[in-house]
A and B are shown apart, each in its own frame.
Chain A
Amino acid sequence: MWRRFARSLVSPRTEPAPIASSAGLAELAAAVDGAAQARLGRSLAIRQVDAGSCNGCELEIHALNNPYYDLERFGLKFVASPRHADVLLVTGPVTHNMAEALRRTWIATPDPKWAIASGDCAINGGVFAGSYACIGPVDSVIPVSLRIRGCPPTPTQLLEGLLALLAQSSGARG
């Protein structure tokens, strides 16, 4: 174990960062103001909220923490409570059963804050659109600043979107 550990220090598996999504940057420009940029620096705390996903999105979000993507090197960190979060990363078609919990989680998140609709379900209901049990996309429940497409979005797609948010919120555009 220790040999392996030492080797990973010399030649890590972590890959270079992808380029922040340009579509995401355009969408974010309006959502992030200068005051927020100053306050957050280059760090964002993310609380993930599953609002009814099939758990495919969660698997890929989990993958962001593996050594290949190593999310924390960017100052991006998943936190356990919305009260510690700057960003809600919301997945799923927002079921009626989860809508209230999502709303309350948003309220519990301190300003400045942003919500990301992650995955096709969160953006437009995906294959679950039109069900009696779903209330609608995330932006019908809380305001959304960034949309990341995919079913589920791959870790690379997620990273591109998150880096766009980081670039915007820290003022280092592009």
Chain B
Amino acid sequence: MSDLAGYFAQAPAITQHRPWPRVELDAAGWHALVEQLAREPWELTALWADPPAIHVCLRDAETGTLIVASHATPDGAYESLGRVRPSALRLERAARDLFGLVAEGTPDSRPWLDHGRWPMRMPLGTNPVPRRLDEPAARAVDYPFLPVEGEALHQIPVGPVHAGIIEPGHFRFHANGETVVRLEERLGWTHKGIEGLMRGKTPLDAARIACRISGDSAVAHALAFARAVEAAVDQRPPPRADFLRALMAEIERIANHLGDFGAICNDASFVFLQAEATTLREQMLRLAGKLFGHRLMMDAVVPGGVARDLDWEGAEALRAHVDQLGPAFEKLVKTYDNRPSLLDRTMATGVTAAHLVRRFAAGGFVGRGSGRGDDARRTPGYPPYDQLDFEIPVQHEGDVHARVWIRIREIRASLKLIREMLAQLPTGAIRVELPTGAGREGMAIVEGFRGDVFGWVRLDGQGLIARYHPRDPSWFQWPLLEAAIEGNIVADFPLCNKSFNCSYSGQDL
């Protein structure tokens, strides 16, 4: 394996980009990179368009080195990375639908987010093309799903409105009797134009939208956005803000993991644990609402710091809460682990291959359940986690059970982290005024409950948002769900889906 930083040593670097380097590649350089990526195990962390440029963020898994490589596309076309790196395919399709940049040589040229219903094509590109809404659009029924050949196969179309209180997505199953032969996802239903809405906003106004990229990751996405802006303008938040942000992030992780733990058990028809876990989740959310002004902690993380301080009583209430939550949760873990009927459903179900997880650089419980132990809190790391000792659990089975256990162990680790942070909570300011930082670019990677959330910002001449790209961890987990369900029975899909718990909104944007 070549050294990632060494590979780009000769390429011209952009000085206004922080904190990791960004280099520019010409067509020959981009082509060489595609060839190199076919051989190297470097991870693709993000890929996004900012016309005329296409950007890709790469990561050296061994050293943790991060680098952004950019290629200006004067004619709006670039050589496809998805050809050699399948995790880029949906990102490239989205970049074409939204910005009109075409990935040449891609094995999948179907639209992704564009369902043929927006008033224009390439709405965020330099030249959006108006579309008459009464023209026969690319309707859902016309979407060419991948063909499946063979006798005795049948199709099961599910969604976008599917059973349960759940976000909309379409799942096309090909099944042989009970067994899933292929699952293909079609997403994009909740596309709200988030990247377009953030344009031209002040960082403070845009932060409100960042909280609503994926509501369950309100803190994580707000944190990625705030840290990207702070990197761009080169201003660190006060140390107390770092700790308060991390407290919120761990509360968010615990609350979501509790919800998932219960929901997975519920999908295996073990309702008792769902009732108990949602009770613990409710108690956590109520405390979050009391301490930070919002049950999901929306609008609590802002560029420059946090919106609200934690007083002494609040800190005490949180300490008492985690002391009581820990033992209560352990009882549920014991119940889970002692029910053969429940384990029969979760063990050896929805096995996700380790090589796929590495190939797609999938994070969170999906990655860590299949042996990929990366966690943005440790590499690249950011305050206050660089001053704290915490466990990053890794399992190797890759099944639903492993993803349940990753959540269990992460809840334990987060409870410990909260105690430690409360003990070390620095005093002082919670927010600083940010300089304008006209024309600067910043990047951040933070660890949400679901995995690593990536954010990249470019500020315009007035310091307003010219471009913000959030990459939710779901982008690299959704495709693996298609692989995980293969060979399982259709009835186990809800269980597998819940154990992945990918965000629809976070990837639809």
* A residues at B contact (CB < 8 Å): 1, 4-5, 13, 48-63, 65-68, 78, 80-82, 92-93, 95-102, 105, 126-128, 130-134, 151-152, 154
Contacts and interface: CB of A to CB of B under 8 A. Distances in A.
B192 A134 contact: yes
A51 to B, nearest CB: 8
Residues of A contacting B: mostly: mixed
Contacts of A151: 212, 298
A55 B167 contact: yes
22 contacts: A13-B279, A48-B165, A52-B189, A52-B191, A52-B505, A53-B167, A53-B505, A58-B165, A63-B281, A66-B282, A80-B163, A97-B115, A98-B190, A100-B140, A102-B161, A128-B192, A132-B193, A133-B123, A133-B191, A134-B192, A151-B298, A154-B289
A130 to B, nearest CB: 8
B129 interface: no
A133 B194 CA distance: 9
A148 to B, nearest CB: 15
Contact of B212 (A54, A58, A67): A54
B458 to A, nearest CB: 20
A101 B208 contact: no
Contact of B117 (A4, A50, A61, A99): A99
Given A130-B197, A133-B192, 20 more contacts: A52-B505, A53-B190, A53-B215, A54-B505, A56-B212, A59-B259, A60-B295, A62-B165, A68-B282, A78-B165, A96-B117, A97-B113, A97-B189, A97-B191, A105-B161, A127-B197, A128-B212, A132-B118, A133-B193, A134-B193
B44 interface: no
Contact of B119 (A55, A60, A99, A132): A132
Interface stretch (B238-246, B270-278, B381-389): B270-278
Contacts of A65: 278
Q: How large is the interface on B (under 10, 10 to 19, 20 to 34, 35 or more residues)?
A: 35 or more
A127 B214 CA distance: 13
Contacts, number: 145
A96 B216 contact: no
Contact of B296 (A1, A56, A93, A133): A56
A59 B197 contact: no
A81 B214 CA distance: 25
A58 B168 CA distance: 11
B487 interface: no
A52 B192 contact: yes
Contacts of A67: 275, 278-279
B288 to A, nearest CB: 12
Contacts of A154: 289, 295
Interface string B164-178: 111110000000000
